[in-house]
Amino acid sequence: MKVLVTGANGFTGQHLIKTLIGKGFEVIATSRNESQLPSYNKLTYYNIELTDVSNVENLFDLTRPNAVIHTAAMSKPDECSANPNLCTANNIEATGHLLGAATKVGTQHFIYLSTDFIFGEGGPHAEDDAPAPLNLYGASKLEAEALVNAAAIKATIVRPVFMYGPIWQNLRPSFIQWVAGKLKNGEPIKVVTDQARTPTYIGDLCWGLRKIINDQVPGVFHLAGKDIVSPYDMAVAVAKHLNLPLGLIEPVTASTFPEPVKRAQRSGLKIDKAVSLLGYAPHSFAAALQKCF
Ligand SMILES: NC(=O)c1ccc[n+]([C@@H]2O[C@H](COP(=O)([O-])OP(=O)(O)OC[C@H]3O[C@@H](n4cnc5c(N)ncnc54)[C@H](OP(=O)(O)O)[C@@H]3O)[C@@H](O)[C@H]2O)c1
């Protein structure tokens, strides 16, 4: 099967491509800039600006993928709020271009990476809870979901939460590497205790995406962790796992960091549907940490 992965240079894109190549898929990878990926057999890379519809159409004419996994996005809420037009172009319009081109060349399956940010307070949320985004990033991802649902193509929407995992050269660090780096340098950090999340271990997300693509499963799935934790809980677990000084982690409330955009205090996603329909069995946060360092 030939799979097109957008956002190939990003955190999800790089992990996903490694997984798919390892399982024998032919991968067409695309991102905006030059490739940051390690070199793999059965991988073709194109640097393409997805907001330009003719680029996207040419890419599909040339490559004719059987399936698309669309991970590219303006993925930082603060950046979206500071650049609303760019957020619309990257998160909504680019998704529309991909859906149009995929439909035109007869791509069989379109998988869209969305987010828990489409919901408001009161998590963890189930797939069919009412969306209520608290910021522009969440609203843009929700609008892209609507385009995916309206398209004449088999589609799956996957929502992960606050992702973490191992990193390698040219792969951006996740929260756990930030914590480890600071503590190794002896730098104190302030981490919030009053936000609840169900962070997704990237290995579990990649397992779920491969299952969805292999079995061509349509619908909406939450692929998150099974533990409800705060960023402070996560930082303490990292320090304990790596034997780093716990005393450098100061517990604070979210009000310590006046953020430019609103975020839910109690967020996170329920995974019952993925567990029962896909056989999704995510690692605990503690078990996943063993795989990250
Ligand atoms: N990270 C999380 O914790 C999290 C949680 C929930 C949901 N999500 C969703 O999961 C997906 C993946 O997130 P991520 O954190 O892995 O993303 P990321 O690391 O920020 O990477 C996104 C990639 O998309 C590419 N891109 C963005 N706009 C583009 C455009 N207009 N044209 C071509 N390429 C473009 C960028 O390519 P270049 O690097 O080449 O510029 C970038 O590497 C996103 O859809 C995000 O909304 C993420």
Q: Are residues 13 and 64 in the same domain?
A: yes
Substitution candidate for ligand 1 out of 4, 5, 6, 12 with most atoms within 8 A of CB: 12
Rounded CA separation 154/147 (Å): 12
Residues near ligand 1 with C-beta < 6 Å? Answer: 7, 9-13, 31-33, 48-51, 71-75, 90, 94, 113, 115, 141, 160-163, 172
Q: Is pLDDT of 228 > 90?
A: yes
CATH number at residue 189: 3.90.25.10
Ligand 1 atom at shortest distance from the alpha carbon of 112: 45
- C-alpha distances in angstroms, 92 versus 1, 29, 75, 88? 27, 20, 12, 5
Residue nearest to atom 18 of ligand 1 (CA): 10
Which atom from ligand 1 is nearest to the alpha carbon of 34? 40
Residues 7 and 150 in one domain: yes
Task: Give residue 27's pLDDT.
Answer: 98
Q: Whose CA is nearest to atom 8 of ligand 1?
A: 115
Whether pLDDT at 258 is above 90: no
- Residues 137, 189, single domain; the answer is no
pLDDT at residue 71, as a whole number: 99
Distance of CA 120 to the CA centre of its chain: 18
Q: Is residue 205 part of a domain?
A: yes
Least confident span in 84-98, 107-121, 245-259: 245-259
**CA of 9, closest atom in ligand 1:** 43
Rounded to the nearest whole angstrom, what is the distance from the C-alpha of residue 78 to the centroid of ligand 1?
Answer: 14
The CA-based angle 265-190-253, given to 5 degrees, is 30
Tell me if 53 sits within 8 A of 65, measured CB to CB. no
105 and 242 fall within a common domain: no
Domain CATH code at residue 13: 3.40.50.720
Q: Name the residue of 14, 71, 78, 79 to mutate for ligand 1: max ligand atoms within 8 A of Cβ.
A: 71
Ligand 1 centroid to residue 75 C-alpha, Å: 5
Residue 90 has pLDDT above 90, yes or no: yes
Across the chain, what does the average pLDDT equal?
A: 97
Residue 274 falls inside a structural domain: no
pLDDT higher than threshold 90 for residue 252: yes
105 shares its domain with 189: no
CA 11–ligand 1 middle distance (angstroms):
7
- Supply the pLDDT for residue 80: 98
pLDDT band at 139 (very low <50, low <70, confident <90, very high): very high
Distance CA 72, CA 91 (A): 8
Domain that holds residue 211: 2-163+199-222
**CA 87 to ligand 1 center in whole angstroms:** 12
Are 191 and 207 within one domain?
Answer: no
pLDDT at 259 over 90: no
Distance 133 CA to ligand 1 centre (A): 19
Number of domains in the chain: 2
Contacts (Cβ under 8 Å, ≥6 apart) of 158: 111, 112, 113, 114, 205, 208, 209, 212, 220, 221, 222, 223
Residues in the chain: 293
Closest CA to 116 of 207, 222, 220, 219: 222
Helices 202-215, 285-292: axis angle to 10 degrees equals 100
Task: State yes or no: pLDDT of 13 exceeds 90.
Answer: yes
Residue of the CA atom closest to atom 46 of ligand 1: 75
Residues 128 and 240 in one domain: no
* pLDDT tens-digit series, residues 162-221: 999 999 999 999 999 999 999 999 999 999 999 999 999 999 999 999 999 999 999 999
Q: What percent of the chain shows pLDDT beyond 70?
A: 100
Closest protein CA for atom 38 of ligand 1: 32
CA distance 48 to 58: 10
Cβ–Cβ contacts within 10 Å for residue 49, how many? 14
Same domain, 114 and 29: yes
pLDDT bucket at 50, cuts 50 / 70 / 90: very high
Same domain assignment for residues 112 and 240: no
Question: Residue 260: is its pLDDT beyond 90?
Answer: no
Contacts of 103 (CB under 8 A, 6+ apart): 151, 152, 153
Output the pTM of the full model. Answer: 0.98
CA of 73 to the centre of ligand 1 (A): 4
How far does residue 145's CA lie from ligand 1's centre (Å)?
15
Distance CA 60, CA 70 (A): 13
Instruction: Please check whether residues 53 and 126 belong to one and the same domain.
Output: yes
